[in-house]
Every structure is written in C-alpha cells, then in structure tokens.
Structure 1
Amino acid sequence: MIALQQVGPDPACGAGEERTPQLSWENLPAGTRSLALIMFDPDGGKGIGVVHWVAYNIDPEQDGLKAGTAGLSGQYVTVGRNSRGTLSYRGPCPPAGDNPHHYALTLIATDLPLGTLPEGLDRSGLLQLLQGHALGAQSLVGRYGH
C-alpha cells in the first residue's frame, strides 16, 4: 500500500531544513475517502517516543506526495502537531551519540471525506477521531543513526 522513495535520515539533519520524504501508495482499500500519515520514533524522548509528523486530509486520488511538499499545511495536506508542538514535519535525526532510532511511518486509509478533520490535531487527537473510520493501515519502519 505504501512505499518510501527516500530512505535514510533527512539530508539536512541538524541544519534546520526539514524535508518530507517522497511517498507513494497504491491498492488503497475500497471506500477510501482520505488518508492520514503519522511518523513516530519510539526510541526518542528518552524512550517515551517522539512524534515527527502528523498529516491528514490527504486526497487518496493522488498516488503519493513529492519530497519536501508536505512539511506544512497546504493544498494537499493538513499538518498536525509534532512532539515539539509545532505544525510541521520533523525529519529523522537522532542526537549524536544515541543508538540508532526506529522511525515508523504509518499510512491510514479512512472513510472520512476530505477536510472533515480539523486543523491542529496531534497524534492522539487524530487517532481518537479515526476510531471507527480507519479502513486499513500499513507501516514502514526505518532505523537511522549517526
């Protein structure tokens, strides 16, 4: 259902330029009306986890998102709050000296019409509103370190 076209840490890791990866998907479940994405690092935050990206209201008629196009809300996506509380993408970039971190990117197909979900959701708020509306999900996990 989902494929990552860019693998590895953000090339601008530590430089303040956070670029979303290029993503593509196919074979979405029947009845899919919108998509949501969550990128979560369970190793970050001293083991309690770090949310790097919350994105939703994504049109399933698109076959993916181009690199660097979904870091902020716009025509094709609503970006929610990451663990820093900002409405932006936070690329994979574990602290120097840490063991490699695992980054789970989950695509969720929903039966919710585009634009149904409000702006400003964090991961838990999004998951709460998706209860009973998820048609399927698939995750990819990458492991990155310095």
Structure 2
Amino acid sequence: MFDREPYADLPDLPTFTLTSTDVAEGETMATAQVSAIMGAGGEDISPQLSWSGAPEGTKSYVVTMFDPDAPTPSGFWHWCVSNIPASVTELATGAALNPPEGAVKHRNDGGTDEFVGAAPPEGHGAHRYILCVTAVDVAELDVDENASPAVVNFNLFFHGIARAFLTPVYEVK
C-alpha cells in the first residue's frame, strides 16, 4: 500500500490505477531505471507506465518521480512532465527522451529535464521512488519548462483531481 507520509499535507484525492512492465510496487528497480548521471551504475531510462480509471473531467496528466528519502530537507525530484494530453494513458520505456506532443518536460533536481534514475547514497538504505500520475482538470497547467517540479505540484494543488501511485525501491549496498 502507498505510504502517504510524504504527501500528508496534500488533500485526499480519488485514485486510479498505475501499472508498469519495468517497475513494481515495493520491488527493487532494475539497472535500466538506476542512474548513470549520478554515478550509480545505471542507465537513466524512464520506466514504462500505463494508467486507467482516471475520473471524468480529466483534461491532462502530470507524471513525476520523487525520492522522499533523499538526504535533503526537500527530497529529490527525479522526473517531471506536465500537460500530457488526456488521450495518452501510457508512456513507453524511455519516453522521457521523447514525451507526447504538447507535454512539457521540467528540470529535475539533477539539473536536467530528462529522467534521472535511482541513486541513493551508498549505505543509506533503501529509498522509495514514488511514481505519480496526476489527473488534471485543465488541458494545460500555467507552467513552462522553467517551472520546478515543486511549482508544478503547487499548481496541482488547485487542478489535480485524482492520483495514481507506484513506488519501487532501490538501495546501494
């Protein structure tokens, strides 16, 4: 079950279903979804995601990946894409490199607008990587590519109508 603790201050929203052929709830991420950029020996390939059951009134989606266990006061944003058209209900493996037409890629905490895979500090224990798809009640959030994931999520406070979560883990021993 999803641990809501990092999202405790957010309003409760309905949920829908999020699945993946690349990652699984509570399971260790494969090397493809581990970071090369951050030196963890991976490939920085965004996972395949499919979602269904979003509520009526969904006009777009936002996809994020967040590590609440990162050793910073604000966690670590690994991936953020907004304004995904409502007609899109799947992202293929590696879609971060070429998101759907109209979608906006945002700079993550690694300083790139691409997907940065898992990279917890060695010996820091298992980190949770919260993949979240948020159904949005507007076709486009009023954010551009310069908006941080925090700003995107602030906008979701007003426009998010449902969320779907999937939380794989990763640990460097």
TM-score range, shorter chain: 0.7 to 0.9
Supply the AA of the counterpart residue of 1:25.
W
Residue of 148, 155, 158 corresponding to 1:129: 155
Matches within 5 A, 1:1-80: 1-7=17-23, 8-11=29-32, 13-16=34-37, 17-46=43-72, 48-71=74-97, 75=101, 77-80=103-106
Q: Tell me, yes or no, if the aligned pair for 1:32 and 1:109 is still in contact at 8 Å.
A: yes
Supply the AA of the counterpart residue of 1:62.
V
Supply the AA of the counterpart residue of 1:49.
G
Counterparts of 1:144 and 1:2 in 2: how far apart (Å)?
A: 19
Deviation at 1:66, TM superposition (A): 0.2
Number of residues of Structure 1 aligned to a counterpart in Structure 2: 146
Q: Which residue of 2 aligns with 1:95?
A: 121
Deviation at 1:138, TM superposition (A): 2.0
Deviation at 1:140, TM superposition (A): 1.7
Counterparts of 1:50 and 1:118 in 2: how far apart (Å)?
A: 20
Which protein has the bigger strand share? 1
Deviation at 1:48, TM superposition (A): 4.0
Counterparts of 1:115 and 1:97 in 2: how far apart (Å)?
A: 39
Deviation at 1:128, TM superposition (A): 1.9
Deviation at 1:14, TM superposition (A): 4.6
Deviation at 1:63, TM superposition (A): 2.3
Gaps of at least 5 residues in structure 2 are 1-16, 24-28, 38-42
Gaps of at least 5 residues in structure 1 are none
Q: Which residue of 1 aligns with 2:4?
A: none
CA RMSD, aligned part only? 2.2
Counterparts of 1:12 and 1:30 in 2: how far apart (Å)?
A: 32
Q: Tell me, yes or no, if the aligned pair for 1:82 and 1:88 is still in contact at 8 Å.
A: yes
Counterparts of 1:33 and 1:39 in 2: how far apart (Å)?
A: 21
Deviation at 1:118, TM superposition (A): 1.9
Task: Provide Cα deviations, 1:42-88, integer angstroms capped at 9, x if missing partner.
Answer: 11134641111111111221220000012465626311121123212
Supply the AA of the counterpart residue of 1:121.
A
Which protein has the bigger helix share? 2
